[in-house]
Amino acid sequence: MKQRITRGARYAASLAVGMVHMLLALWAGSAAGGWAWRHGYTLPFDTSSSAAMSAAIVFGLLAAGAVLVLPEPWMTQVRHLVAGRPLAPCPTCGALAHPPAAHHATNTTPKELAQ
């Protein structure tokens, strides 16, 4: 029972890390859009009556997208670390993956042993 509670708490904490990352992206997009709106930036070749609003939306989307996409590898590592399943580089290909479990590392069954 204690292991289930610990696992559940770690999973909830990893979800909280993802939620904080999403809230940070929303804040960055809102701040960038508000800044563009207050300073009157417009997009090139946009002569419509809503040019400032269009620029504010584009600035906000670009900022939020950058905050979501650029640190994603680090956020993935943090989420897995908080969840208790850290990612490690693969010795053969270099990609990040879960390390093999200790009981899977050795060939212990007769079918797995070299004949």
User: Is residue 57 very low, low, confident or very high in pLDDT (cuts 50, 70, 90)?
Assistant: very high
User: Is residue 101 very low, low, confident or very high in pLDDT (cuts 50, 70, 90)?
Assistant: low
Q: How far out from the chain centre does Cα 9 lie?
A: 19
Integer CA distances (angstroms), 104 to 53, 86, 101, 112, in order: 57, 17, 5, 11
Stated pTM of the model? 0.74
pLDDT value at residue 114 = 54
Whether pLDDT at 108 is above 90: no
